Amino acid sequence: GQNIDQPTEMTATEGAIVQINCTYQTSGFNGLFWYQQHAGEAPTFLSYNVLDGLEEKGRFSSFLSRSKGYSYLLLKELQMKDSASYLCAVRGSTLGRLYFGRGTQLTVWP
């Protein structure tokens, strides 16, 4: 089966840095995605990793280690608007289908 695991909740203060971890066990691997989802809205694409290493995009960075089945999303200079659910998703052995974790609800306090 497929298993994507991430913490349920995290809190942080404005201006801080937060790291959201994701571990996965899937029958195949063809890329890992991070999405942001505000309450009642659609997931918004943040990042994509298919090779080991760090991908940086502004205040957001994502890291992947395929041998460890591990990824993290790093958010810097947190803002109130970053309060949202962050979804880790793995594309398995075939194109298209994504397996999602339950999401990590991040709350940013002033």
Partner 1 sequence: DAGVTQSPTHLIKTRGQQVTLRCSPKSGHDTVSWYQQALGQGPQFIFQYYEEEERQRGNFPDRFSGHQFPNYSSELNVNALLLGDSALYLCASSLRGSTDTQYFGPGTRLTVL
Instruction: Please give the size of the binding site for partner 1, defined by CB under 8 A.
Output: 25
How far apart are CB 14 and partner 1 at their closest, in Å? 26
Does 91 bind partner 1 (CB under 8 A)? Our answer is yes
Cβ proximity to partner 1, 58 vs 110, nearer residue: 58
Question: 101, 4 in Cβ contact below 8 A?
Answer: yes
Does 109 bind partner 1 (CB under 8 A)? Our answer is no
Q: Which one of 16-24, 31-39, 53-61, 71-79 is the stretch in contact with partner 1 (CB under 8 A)?
A: 31-39
Does 20 bind partner 1 (CB under 8 A)? Our answer is no
Which 3-state string (H, E, C) describes the chain? CCEEECCCEEEEECCCCEEEEEEEECCCCCCEEEEEECCCCCCEEEEEECCCEEEEECCEEEEEECCCCEEEEEECCCCHHHCEEEEEEEECCCCCCEEECCCEEEEEEC
Does 33 bind partner 1 (CB under 8 A)? Our answer is yes
Cβ proximity to partner 1, 16 vs 50, nearer residue: 50
Q: For residue 51, which amino acid is it? A: L
Q: Which residues bind partner 1 (CB under 8 A)?
A: 4, 31, 33, 35, 40-45, 48, 50, 87, 89, 91, 94-103
